[in-house]
Chains A and B, each alone.
Chain A
Amino acid sequence: MKNLIVSLLVLVALSGMVFAQGGSEESWPNKNINLTVPYNAGGTTDLTARALGNGMSKVLGVTINVVNTPGAGGSAGTLNVQNAKVDGYTMLANGMLAFTTMPINGYTDKTFRDWDIWIATYAPNTIIVPKNSPYNTIQDLIEAIRKNPGKITAGTAGIGSGGHFGAETVKAIAGADYKHITYAGGAAAVTATLSGEVDFCPQLLAEFKDLIIAGEVKALASLAEEDIEIAPGVVIPSILDTYPEAAKFVPMGEVTGILIPKGLDEAKLAKIDAAFQSAVKEKDFLDFCSLKSFTVNPMGRAESQAYLEKFASKACYLMYDAGATTIDPAKFGINR
């Protein structure tokens, strides 16, 4: 008898929950939102997404669950969101380098123009070398690449990763090729630099900032437009100091934001706008960004699209000209 009563109670509770979930469309959001991160937990995209999601959930009043779906250079998770129902309960957080080059890498026919995008942060590429490396300035490295084309090794997190773009920029400046060694993620590439397995690592500053300050690796240059002071007395020179002709490539770095496939109605989008604008002003988020040396650079939907037109052109043609892909960006209306 006791068992029966307990089970009945549970049933009632259960049905209550089911009804609570199937609430009306008007009051979006009325259940938890899944924020897909197409990389492993712990990476920079993941951390940014979590910090941002936390701020947004305060305004939206529901929990934002971060779902990590790593695989295929970030395209697996992105395609999951692209194919999911556009109801505002599935969002994507992604880095724009990999995202804007997805069409020219043959993953999809949709471009950034098919998404609503809110850009939050910018993190510059920085070129580091092991602490016992013979290269002490960016000039040493570029000269070495020019002298031994195809011999100097660069460790990155893979094709289409932020580091790959950094390496391609170096190649464009040097006018000679490097040897691309890919790792399972930014952390693994940095570890390989620490152990001296690769000659240089052009990943994002955020991934090894503390190692630079501690002197475990040497920072040669950043691909930002200006010098960056990451700690009192520790300044990373901009590549423009030595190679002003690189101006057409910089600033190069990862730009991270929140994305939703187009098709959500304006009322919901406005709610997300508000949540986003509030989240990028949260103290937690700003603290996180300064800890990681991210530049907070929030852009609304319209602004992001305009920014990405230029950004996508730069990123796609860098890859196309480097021969990393054979699909012409012009096919997707991305012009130089």
Chain B
Amino acid sequence: MENKTKDTVFSIIMMLLGGYVVIESVRMARKAASPPYNITTLSVSPAFLPVILGIALIVFSVILLIMSLVGEKHPAKAFAQHITTFSTRFVAALQTPGILKMIGGVAIMAVLTFLMMGRIPFWIGGTLFMFATMLFLRATKWWKSLLSSIIVMAAMVLLFQVAFGTTLP
């Protein structure tokens, strides 16, 4: 039951994505048919495989959808049921403490990835990140977290910059 619910939603999302890919590929084929490329035959156009992939994505999603509804007496009703079950479960999951912790962790990771990288030296950013994440997760005592972050970062710098001779971000 659980699986079929997920399959239903997954197939809908993939169908939409497939549709987008097909539209984008058709646009691509038009662009390729005009100068400077002048590729008018679809089979040698750069858009050829994307079109096929988009269609294949739609076809496979439809098969998946049919598989998740097959055997139901009222496929339409079952479909609606799957969608509502999925959304209520999804919303409910968002409120459990475990998931909130995951989201928090991802947020810290995002801060490191998008805001710190390239702006401040890697070894500062990396150490700060490890320390912050360990604190946030209450992994261990704060001074232990700090110490292990620093030691690990020092080891990484030694390994990559000194031993392997590479440049870090």
Contacts and interface: CB of A to CB of B under 8 A. Distances in A.
A and B touch in the complex (CB under 8 A): yes
Interface of A: 3-4, 6-7, 10-11, 13-14, 17-18, 32, 34, 63, 65, 325-326
Contacts of A63: 165
Contacts of A32: 165, 167
Given A10-B151, A18-B121, 10 more contacts: A4-B147, A7-B151, A13-B154, A14-B123, A14-B158, A32-B165, A63-B165, A65-B165, A65-B167, A326-B36
Contact of B154 (A10, A34, A325, A326): A10
A112 B151 CA distance: 47
Given A14-B154, A32-B167, A7 B36 contact: no
Name the residue in A3, A10, A18, A34 with the highest tally of chain B Cβ atoms < 10 Å from its Cβ: A10
B150 A11 contact: yes
B155 interface: yes
Contacts of A14: 123, 154, 157-158
A17 B165 contact: no
Contact of A17 (B36, B151, B161): B161
Nearest to A7: B151
B117 to A, nearest CB: 16
Contacts of A4: 147
A7 B167 contact: no
B130 to A, nearest CB: 14
A11 B167 CA distance: 19
Contacts of A13: 154, 158
B166 interface: yes
A3 B121 CA distance: 26
Contact of B155 (A3, A10, A326): A10
Given A7-B147, A10-B155, A11-B154, A34 B167 contact: yes
B161 to A, nearest CB: 7
27 contacts: A3-B147, A4-B147, A6-B151, A7-B147, A7-B150, A7-B151, A7-B154, A10-B151, A10-B154, A10-B155, A10-B158, A11-B154, A13-B154, A13-B158, A14-B154, A14-B157, A17-B157, A17-B161, A17-B162, A18-B121, A18-B123, A32-B165, A32-B167, A63-B165, A65-B165, A325-B36, A326-B36
A32 B166 CA distance: 9
B35 interface: yes
B106 to A, nearest CB: 29
Interface string B110-125: 0000000000010100
Contacts of B165: 32, 63, 65
A18 to B, nearest CB: 8
Contact of B35 (A11, A18, A326): A326
A65 B161 CA distance: 12
Q: Which 9 A-B pairs have the closest CB atoms?
A: A10-B154, A326-B36, A7-B151, A14-B154, A326-B35, A14-B157, A325-B36, A7-B147, A11-B154
A325 B37 CA distance: 9
Contacts of A17: 157, 161-162
Nearest to A63: B165
Nearest to B121: A18
Contacts of B151: 6-7, 10
A6 B148 CA distance: 12
A144 to B, nearest CB: 23
Contacts of A18: 121, 123
A6 B151 CA distance: 9
Nearest to A34: B167
Contacts of B121: 18
Nearest to B36: A326
